[in-house]
Structure 1
Amino acid sequence: MQKIFAVLAVLLLAGCSTTENTHTDSQCIGQMTTEEAYGHLNPERFTIQVLALTEERQADVRNYINHIQGQQPIWVNWKKSSSGRWYAVIYGDFATKDEAKAVIDRLPEAVRQQGPFIRSFAEVQSDKQTDVFRLR
């Protein structure tokens, strides 16, 4: 039951709709598994993890997402670990680490202060214990 409330909280805080008839471009694309979200992506490409938050700070997710402009995809991964529930926000699909690094350098200061770092999609795909919400 707690998981359902946590999922709904992320959706609402990120500006997502849970009903299809109210979906807009700024709302979430939907909930999916790790395989559904990332399985089709080239594992040799890269993304940026811009934020990782505990469940207690889930309200911060929307704040950080609002700072990230552009058309690159944004995913919120929800997972349970031995230390509690976590939300990780990853951003973009980049061909090289250098391309991702250049994007990090252009992120707003509020986002860069959180210490974004580059991950390969191979790493992201290997984390099977997540529920993923693609926001754009």
Structure 2
Amino acid sequence: MKRIIPITLTALLAGCTSSSYTTNITTDSSEEVYQVSQPIEQEETTFEETEVVAVSEAEKPVVKLTPEETATPEASDAAVKILPPTEKQQDMHNRYGYTLQILALSRKTDLSTYAAKLSGEQPVWMNRKTVNNMPWYTILYGDYATPAEARAAIKQLPADIQAYGPFVRSINSIKQSDNPELHKLN
């Protein structure tokens, strides 16, 4: 067995070194020629001077109003109808307040349990978002003018809610996320 391997290897190498092996190498090249247009020269602009004559005070027409011609606001009995903003107007309205994200859940059914633990002093929202093609539901609590107010509010939350690790979020960043669905819970 030990003798067969070297003999086979020698025969294989001898077959690879034959002189009848030829290789044809072909190449193809092309040349592209571009015609460059002449640059456009800018024409000189000329300014024409004209004389300006001022209108004298005597030539100006004078209009006098009499008391009959003065406009008086007409009293109308028509009521003014105030319409709520359209969806486009609501989408354009930036909100620069801050809120607390209490926690994020993968099931909507558990939201009411956690939302009930929050006091009724501040508004509570549910925000649905999609992460890795999975729905997630976040509980947002409060409406604060500055991030400092929101951070101070975290310290006022009950200890079991603080254990969830709430953090400050900008309402504007939530509204401008890919697919915000804010729903007020209280």
TM-score by length of 1: 0.63
**Which of 148, 154, 157 is residue 104 of structure 1 equivalent to?**
154
1:75 Cα offset (Å): 0.7
> 1:59 is paired with a residue of what secondary structure?
helix
**Which of 44, 54, 57 is residue 106 of structure 2 equivalent to?**
54
What are the Cα deviations for residues 31-59 of structure 1, in whole angstroms up to 9, with x where unaligned?
xx9x85x865632x21100111113xx33
| Residue pair 1:39, 1:125 contacting (<8 A) in 2 also | no
What amino acid maps onto 1:47 in structure 2?
Answer: T
What are the Cα deviations for residues 63-90 of structure 1, in whole angstroms up to 9, with x where unaligned?
2111110331111011222151100111
Higher-RCO chain (CA-CA 8 Å, sequence separation at least 6): 1
CA distance in 1, matches of 2:92, 2:127: 14
Which residue is 1:42 aligned to? 95
> 2:116 is paired with a residue of what secondary structure?
helix
What are the Cα deviations for residues 66-123 of structure 1, in whole angstroms up to 9, with x where unaligned?
1110331111011222151100111111011121111111111221111100011221
Which residue is 1:135 aligned to? 185
| 1:65 equivalent in alignment to 2:65 | no
Number of equivalenced pairs: 99
CA distance in 2, matches of 1:60, 1:112: 18
> 2:95 is paired with a residue of what secondary structure?
coil
| Residue pair 2:150, 2:168 contacting (<8 A) in 1 also | yes
Q: Which has the higher strand share?
A: 1
Structure 1 stretches of 4+ with a deviation exceeding 6 A read: none
CA distance in 2, matches of 1:39, 1:95: 19
Structure 1 residues 115 and 39: CA distance shift in structure 2, 3 A:
farther
Unaligned runs of 5+ in 1: 1-32
Unaligned runs of 5+ in 2: 1-86
Matches within 5 A, 1:10-25: none
Structure 1 residues 119 and 60: CA distance shift in structure 2, 3 A:
same
CA distance in 1, matches of 2:95, 2:132: 30
Structure with larger Rg: 2
CA distance in 2, matches of 1:40, 1:72: 22
TM-score by length of 2: 0.47
